[in-house]
Structure 1
Amino acid sequence: MAKQDKRGRSARHDGRISPILGLVVGLVLLVAVGGAVYLLKAPAPAKALSESGPALATRIGVDELQMAPEQVAELQVGEVKTQRFELQREAIGIIDLNQDNAVQVFSPYQGRIGQLNVRAGDDVSKGQVLYTVQIPDLAQAASALISAGGNLRVANETLRRAQALAEAQSIPQKELQQNQADQQTADAAYRAARKSLELFGLSAQDIEAIESTRKIDTEMPVRSPLTGRVTARAGAPGQLVQPGNNPAPVAVANLQQLWMVASVPESELSAYQKGQNVTVRVSAYPDKTFSGKVSYIGDVADPATHRITVRADVADPQHLLKAQMLANFVIRVGAPVESPAVPQNALAREGDGSISAWVTTDGVRFKRRVVQTGLVQNGQVQITQGLRPGEKIARDKGLFLSNLYLITTT
């Protein structure tokens, strides 16, 4: 009886659905219903690009496209033209004073500045007094000259009388010789005194004026050694100055001609020669150019940058350029050449690094052609190989055509 009861309960248990199984079945039904609803409400699939409108182009062969007529106008189809290309190199450098025509005007003697007659920016001429220096030692040197001159005159007169007496045998020969020695000593002292004054920069006329007037002016002028402009004034009245003691009280430079100083890669050294024409531009005057010529090519390369100094003399008659200005230099390194030229937008750089242009004969079918390029000037690219003057190309959107070819089917 007990066994029958157990079998009955087991049979009733097997007839019931397990809770876990019911949960799984419910989830499956829920997902199925949601998917059906989504499919019913989802928009219809978009049409393919070819069905949504007219195709931009059709690939008709290897590296060849046939463009839709309405797209051709944007390609600016035109002929390859020739252009004159200047063989030139560009470099960035600075404007500097022409050191051959620039000088720091030091005082040739020690003393104190008495007067400063110029200011920075003043134009001066050669020989013009820039400043004066009060020289206490000059008084001593001038006094020595006056004294030596007087002694020489007395010695000359004494010797003259001694020679007359010696001829009459009125004095012994020994006394004559002594007078001769005294005269020579006085003459040597006089010459030495004159030399001392010459060291102060006095001319022969100045020295003779001191002798004749016996007046001593201890304030000496310092004159400009060249015609130019005062580029710096570091001195002040009363300042102690010495020969060669920096800074110089006044600096003068001829600004009619300046230097362009640039550093160029040593790999380009063979392209540069003295006498080559140079065109200079500075940001202060973007519409103006300055002309010059290469005057110096460095003899030593910088070991850190492996660049070499190239210097040119640049004319600046209006004094527009300033020292230490940054400037762009274009140096002509050869005669101009005539070559086929195309706009930069006509070319495309391909994935393999080559440069290509799209050539056409009928204005509708375009074929890609690999070209070799050279110089780029005024928005035009020199074509050294691959195109001939007169051939028709897409003068714009070359990169667009290359990309379009990749996504277009036959």
Structure 2
Amino acid sequence: MAATQQSSSAPLRPRALLWVALAAVFTAVAGGIWAVGTHNAKADADTQPVSIAGKVQTDVVRVAPDQAAALDVGTSQEHQFENLRRTIGIIDFNQDRTTRVHSAQQGRIAQMLVKAGDDVKAGQTLYTVAVPERAQAASTLISSAATLRSANETLRRASALAQENSIPQKELQQAQTDQQSAQAAYDAARQGLRLFDLADADIARIERERQVDKEVAVKSPIAGRVTARAAQPGLLVQPGSDPAPVTVSDLRTLWMVANVPESEFSYYRVGQPVQVRVQAWPDKVFAGKVSYVGDSIDADSRRFVVRAEVADPRRELRPQMTADFQFTVAAPQSSVAVPAEAVVREGNGADVVWIAEGSDERGPRFTRRKVTRGQTTSGLVQITEGLVGSERIARHNALFLSSLYETEAQ
């Protein structure tokens, strides 16, 4: 029996030893894997960078030391800002120096002596109009002049005879009456011709040469340029009827006309300087002065007219050009100014700048501050509230700081 038990347990020992060996191998492998994993995790933790840039606390952000140079930290500055108001308007003819030249009599145009673009002088004939009444008036003058000469001669002879008592006194009186009537008719004929804008020299020429001319010369009352011609020979014209056959304008000055909101009425007054820019000459400024501020407000648009006279000696402007106008409404104002890149307009409409507040152990810090923006001139923004001239700010790339503020720093 004992021999039987001994023989049955003998084969179990190799199996037990095998299981023990396998367990040892598994334990070693598992330990190795755990050790390798722990080592790799530690290595990854040692090589992972630490985040130092971003939001540190409310309104404070930190940047990496190598990022500070791009922000151009420096103090704000004082700058003289012009007190200006800007608006959009148009260029127009100076209506005070523009005339529509109508004919004073009805008739048909006989000759057109100018064309659009011609420069004319005051008193120069622009066109002539055939007026039948003119011929009749000239004939009346010639006839009345002849009658007056005859009456004067008759009176002279009658006066001489009356002195010798060779004729009755009644004949002398009749001769005097006839002479007076002839003189009145002659004077009326001359006055009738003056209605056709004829000078005394022209009337004397008609009387002397006994020539009947039915064409009336229409002359320019001012010196300037023919800016419109709306007639041809043969056209029937009437006094005051539109369009005028010829329009003459003095182009040495033009009008600037702008419609300004009524809320800005207190800023404008006659005599203010104005600077004009047009798209055709983007780098050129035309100078002028306000000549009229509207006497009423338009009921629909709630705007009023501001008009300025703009000098244009070289005739580079054209009426109906769209123009940008700058009005100087007050003396220049000295204010804190920062570069345009230093001001950030946030989503809620607030304007902010970033103030340099020194550094901590991880990098420079900047504090966010709200400001009130004024004018912008030559790349500089006027700050009317929230900043003094001696504070150090991020002068450039302030938008980067605002974006970085959304990231939490470690």
Q: Shared fold (TM-score greater than 0.5)?
A: yes
Q: Which residue of 2 aligns with 1:318?
A: 314
Instruction: Name stretches of at least 5 consecutive residues in structure 1 with no aligned partner.
Output: 1-50
Q: CA deviation at 1:395?
A: 1.6
User: In structure 1, the residue corresponding to 2:338 is in which secondary structure?
Assistant: strand
Alignment of 1:137-286 (within 5 A): 137-286=133-282
Q: CA RMSD in A?
A: 2.1
Structure 1 residues 285-322: Cα deviation after superposition (integer angstroms, max 9, x where no partner): 11112111111111011100110100000111111111
Mapped to 2, the partners of 1:234 and 1:225 lie a distance apart of 18
The Cα offsets for residues 97-148 of structure 1, whole Å up to 9 and x where unpaired, read as 0011111111222222222222111122222222222222222111100111
Q: Is the 8 A contact 2:98 2:247 kept in 1?
A: yes
Q: TM-score, normalised by structure 1?
A: 0.82
Alignment of 1:386-397 (within 5 A): 386-397=386-397
Cα 1:325–1:150, aligned 2, differ >3 Å: closer, same or farther?
same
Checking the alignment, whether the CA contact within 8 Å between 1:274 and 1:294 is kept in structure 2 is: yes
2:193 match: secondary structure:
helix
With structure 2 as the length reference, what TM-score do the two structures score?
0.82
2:273/2:287 contact within 8 Å kept: yes
Secondary structure of the 1:374 match is strand
Query: Aligned equivalents of 2:277 and 2:57: distance in 1?
Result: 49
Partners of 2:110 and 2:303 lie apart in 1 by: 48
Deviation at 1:208, TM superposition (A): 0.6
1:273 maps to a residue whose letter is: R
Greater mean deviation of Cα atoms: 153-162 or 115-124: 153-162
Gap runs ≥5 in structure 2: 1-46
Q: Write out per-residue CA displacement over residues 164-209 of structure 1, whole angstroms, 9 at most, x where no aligned residue.
A: 4444444444443333322222111111100111111111011111
Percentage of identical aligned residues: 54
Q: Given residue 365 of structure 1, which amino acid in structure 2 is its aligned partner?
A: R
Aligned to 1:300: 296
More displaced 10-residue stretch of structure 1: 385-394 or 88-97: 385-394
The 5 Å alignment of 1:41-80 reads 53-55=49-51, 57-80=53-76
CA distance in 1, matches of 2:91, 2:286: 11
Q: Which residue of 1 aligns with 2:36?
A: none
What is the identity, as a one-letter code, of the residue corresponding to 1:69?
Answer: P
**How far off is 1:381 after superposition?**
1.2
Q: What's the secondary structure of 1:86's corresponding residue?
A: strand
Q: What is the CA–CA distance in structure 2 between the aligned matches of 1:238 and 1:353, rounded to whole Å?
A: 67
User: What letter corresponds to residue 195 of structure 2 in structure 1?
Assistant: L
Contact residue 89 and residue 256 of structure 2 kept, 8 A: yes
Q: State whether structure 2 residue 353 is matched by structure 1 residue 357.
A: yes
What corresponds to 1:366 in structure 2? 366
SS at match of 2:202: helix
The question of whether the paired residues in 2 share the 8 Å contact of 1:85 and 1:375 is answered with yes
Name the structure 1 match of 2:125: 129
Q: Deviations over 1:236-263 (max 9, x none)?
A: 1222222222222211111111000001
d(CA) in 2 for partners of 1:249, 1:350: 60
Does the aligned pair in 2 maintain the 1:56–1:71 contact within 8 Å? no
The one-letter code of the counterpart of 2:83 is: L
Q: Distance in 2 between matches of 1:351 and 1:211?
A: 88
The Cα of 1:282 is off from its aligned counterpart by 0.9
> Is the CA contact (8 Å cut-off) linking 1:256 and 1:317 kept in structure 2?
yes
Match of 2:12 in 1: none
Q: Is the 8 A contact 1:55 1:68 kept in 2?
A: no
Amino acid at match of 1:387: L
Structure 2 Cα separation of the partners of residues 271 and 297 of structure 1: 10
What is the CA-CA distance between 1:351 and the residue it aligns to?
A: 6.0
How many matched pairs?
360
Going from structure 1 to structure 2, the CA distance change for 1:56 and 1:375 (only over 3 Å counts) comes to farther
Offset at 1:159?
A: 2.5
Greater shift in the superposed pair: 107-116 or 169-178: 169-178
